[in-house]
Structure 1
Amino acid sequence: MTTVSLCMIVKNEEKNIEHCLASARPFVDEMIVVDTGSTDQTIQLCQSAGAQVYSFEWNNHFAEARNYSLEQATSDWILWMDADEVLDVSAAGNWKERLTAGNEPLFNVRLVNYIGETPDPNETFHIAHTRLFRNGIGLRFLYPIHETLNVEEILIDEKALRSIEQIEGLIIYHYGYLQSYVTAKQKNERNLKLLLQEFNAENSNPWTEYHLASEYYRTGQYEQAYDFVNLSIARFLENGKLPPSLLYNLKYSCLIAVDSLENIPTGIDKVIQLYPDYINLYFYKGIALFQSNEYSSALELFEHCIFIGEGNIAHLTLKGSGSFHAWYYKGRCLEQLAKPKLAAEAFEEALKLYPNYASAQEALTRLIL
């Protein structure tokens, strides 16, 4: 029978670690936890949950701590997680059979990132993320912060990189981007400090600028975020690589946040040619057209979003971009085009999909009044 090791690194996670380990424990054969200096009850809670706990002297390098956890794993496969995550296999069937049956070196898992104040399934971003891989095939983590697996070194072929299979129904819920988590752990300050050190070091990689942009975006510093994401895009291009799609997602999110809309429709069309299956791009273009009072053109975009849906999570996908958000903006366009009955129907569709959607409810109430 195929075996799986859960590998984690933690520090002062007493509020989260029990929930995390409890979600994974029935489905893995060993739990490896590398502690980087906890001063709370984290170590004791891990041991009580049945995890093997190893100490690692913190050296401001997340990848090295992660790699130390991999070195302790003895199973056929490795599943890696963070303490602020929960594993859900309720819809995955016998997913271990999938690991046994084929020759795939690694698999993607649906990663659901909660955003905002409270964990609302409709306030999320979804992406297929490489979380399961065979032990002993040379996969290692890179970079001091926002560590990443060296997948490109193992899957050299570009086609293979783009066709990593996903285990359907296997989901990891990530709570670490909720505002309460970010504030409690002072993540922004820590991350910015480490990222700026990496940015100023020799041989830094273009992901550093992207992660800097993400940190600035999360703290509302949109102009700094825009500058860094553009720098990241430029550096990927200088290295002869296609900038990953989520860089453009962040770039146009920044422009919409600062209401700088005039260049979005033409600029984003070039990106759509690169990533024609990325729904967020059509959605952001629609918002830009709507806010520029081009309601008929925006309406076409939102109808296209509804048509293609948001099932493709090869790209970082905003929940609702192909469903309730698109229906809401469709209603706003129809309202401006003096079609109140059709607008009301669109708002009702948005509310069917997301009953607590305050903006849609307010818009519908306004129309009724």
Structure 2
Amino acid sequence: MIVKDEARSISNCLESVKGLVSEMIIIDTGSTDQTIDICKKHGAKVYPYMWKNDFADARNYGLSYATGDWILWLDADEELDATKKFLLQEILAHTNSYLLSLPILNYYGKTKPVNKDHVYLYYQLRVFRNYKDITFHNRIHETPLLPAELTDKEIENISIPIHHYGYLEDITETKQKGQRNLQLLQQEVADPSHSPWIEYHLASEYYRQGKYLQAFQYVNESILLFLHQNQLPPSLLYKLKYAMLIETNSLDGAWPSIEKAILLYPDYVDLHFYKGDILYKMKNYREALQAFEKCLELGDHHTEYLILKGTGSFKAGRYKGLCLEQLGRSEEAQEAFGFWDNTRLD
């Protein structure tokens, strides 16, 4: 872990892995609060590190101290799911995989306690064998970089969630994350060899700050850069692009171009949900109903996409009811509302 002034959340994070891990390695980049004392009380090893504006470098510094057979990497504003954490021990004892992907539950809203329905889910490589040639790359939004001999190894998806609270408004405002992230991303984008992912992350930061013009420019630039490299632009780019167009009520820009994105990712439930939302706002209730029924057919459970909870279940079900109401099918609408309300209670 990399930390700085995390006294507010670090105890919950370390408690979430207690009894599971054999060592806790903390790279402290200059804490002035009680973070270091709290870490040591939990039995963690704390190593000071001179901050270089490079999360990957700090993460790799931490890797150099790891002696276990497996690496689990976390952030201080995350917690491993308490109800399933010991299942991870059992999986590691029997798996032949080198790489494990876990679902990250990214909560949004103002503060804790969180609304469990206000969450984005995305699977990410978070556990890997302590293999000397696995290192992290990217100054910000660092990710494991796999050596050639591991690139063809299958990443095993396991359903042990990591709860991430770092996007809650009170945390981002207190830590001024947006300003810090933009500064690091601008350094990255100045490197001629940078990845098109950097433009995506810039778009995300501007989007979170409500600066939609800059965000839209960067998301389109990222798409073009991926295409110029003869790569299919990742699905995240289209999700962000159409989320922006819907929020700014730019329906003419969103329709019918979203159909092209769906052709690229026909099983991405969030894109079908956005399509239904666009059509509903355009008062095309019949086609919107078909889009939401497609969402319910696809469901919420996809390991390869960033999914907003409910787009394949209760959110789509509610819209289905609204469409049926507009089409004069009131009995079917009430049935849809009732079914999805009961599902959520279950």
TM-score by length of 1: 0.89
Equivalent AA in structure 2 for residue 146 of structure 1 = H
157, 177, 183: which one pairs with 1:166?
A: 157
SS at match of 1:129: strand
Shift of 1:141: 0.9
SS at match of 1:72: coil
Distance 1:343 1:222 in 2: 35
81, 90, 111: which one pairs with 1:88?
A: 81
Aligned partner of 1:361 in structure 2 is none
Contact 1:25 1:31 in 2 (8 A): no
Deviation digits for residues 107-151 of structure 1 (CA, Å, limit 9, x no counterpart)? 001110001124111000001110000002521111111111114
Aligned partner of 1:358 in structure 2 is none
Aligned partner of 1:364 in structure 2 is none
184, 190, 215: which one pairs with 2:205?
A: 215
Aligned partner of 1:24 in structure 2 is 17
Aligned partner of 1:231 in structure 2 is 221
SS at match of 2:256: helix
SS at match of 2:18: helix
Aligned partner of 1:261 in structure 2 is 251
Instruction: Name stretches of at least 5 consecutive residues in structure 2 with no aligned partner.
Output: none
56, 78, 84: which one pairs with 1:63?
A: 56
Shift of 1:263: 4.0
**In the alignment, is residue 139 of structure 1 matched against residue 134 of structure 2?**
yes
Equivalent AA in structure 2 for residue 144 of structure 1 = R
Shift of 1:59: 0.8
Query: % of aligned pairs identical?
Result: 48
Contact 1:114 1:124 in 2 (8 A): yes
2, 5, 9: which one pairs with 1:9?
A: 2
SS at match of 2:328: coil
Contact 1:122 1:354 in 2 (8 A): no
Distance verdict in 2 for CA 1:137–1:100, change over 3 Å: farther
Matches within 5 A, 1:119-198: 119-151=114-146, 153=148, 155-157=150-152, 160=153, 163-168=154-159, 170-198=160-188
Distance verdict in 2 for CA 1:121–1:152, change over 3 Å: farther
Aligned partner of 2:92 in structure 1 is 99
Deviation digits for residues 247-302 of structure 1 (CA, Å, limit 9, x no counterpart)? 11111111111111224343222222222221111111111111111110000110
Distance 2:146 2:344 in 1: 37
Aligned partner of 1:367 in structure 2 is none
Aligned partner of 1:339 in structure 2 is 329
36, 48, 71: which one pairs with 1:43?
A: 36
Aligned partner of 2:264 in structure 1 is 274
Shift of 1:154: 5.3
**In the alignment, is residue 285 of structure 1 matched against residue 275 of structure 2?**
yes
Instruction: Kindly tell me the number of residue pairs found equivalent between the two proteins.
Output: 343
250-259 or 334-343, larger mean C-alpha shift: 334-343
Distance 1:165 1:270 in 2: 30
Matches within 5 A, 1:243-258: 243-258=233-248
Equivalent AA in structure 2 for residue 61 of structure 1 = D
Aligned partner of 1:359 in structure 2 is none
Shift of 1:207: 1.1
TM-score by length of 2: 0.94
Distance 2:21 2:169 in 1: 30
Distance 2:271 2:13 in 1: 33
CA RMSD in angstroms comes to 1.7
202-211 or 269-278, larger mean C-alpha shift: 269-278
Shift of 1:229: 0.9
Shift of 1:155: 4.0
Equivalent AA in structure 1 for residue 134 of structure 2 = L
